[in-house]
Amino acid sequence: MANTKSAEKAARRAETNRTRNIALRSRMRTALRKVNDALASGKKADATAALKDAQPLIDSLVNKNVIHRNKAARHKSALSARIKALK
């Protein structure tokens, strides 16, 4: 339990940020799932389009400090490599 006014405000902000971060991470996972689904179906054009939509979303989460930049780079690199390997 917060003892001071500033601690109460910090707790409220933390809860607000936590719910926002959950929603943002969920959007990222959905975008990644769309790319993976397109890859699983073997449709290179769909996978490329889905990755093109997912990349700005992933980058925005890095700028908002929701995910680490290395994690973002790892996701983008792995997906683009899988798309490149698809025939």
Q: According to the model, what pLDDT value does residue 76 have?
A: 97
Give the pLDDT confidence of 18-38 residue by residue, as tens digits: 999 999 999 999 999 999 999
Q: Which residues of the chain have pLDDT under 50?
A: none
**Which structural domain, as residue segments, surrounds residue 60?**
5-85
Q: According to the model, what pLDDT value does residue 87 have?
A: 76
The number of domains in the chain is 1
Q: How far is CA 15 from CA 44, 63, 74, 80, in A?
A: 40, 20, 28, 35
- Angle among Cα 63, 48, 69 to the nearest 5 degrees reads 20
Q: According to the model, what pLDDT value does residue 71 have?
A: 97
What CATH number should be reported for the domain holding residue 58?
Answer: 1.20.58.110
Q: According to the model, what pLDDT value does residue 1 have?
A: 78
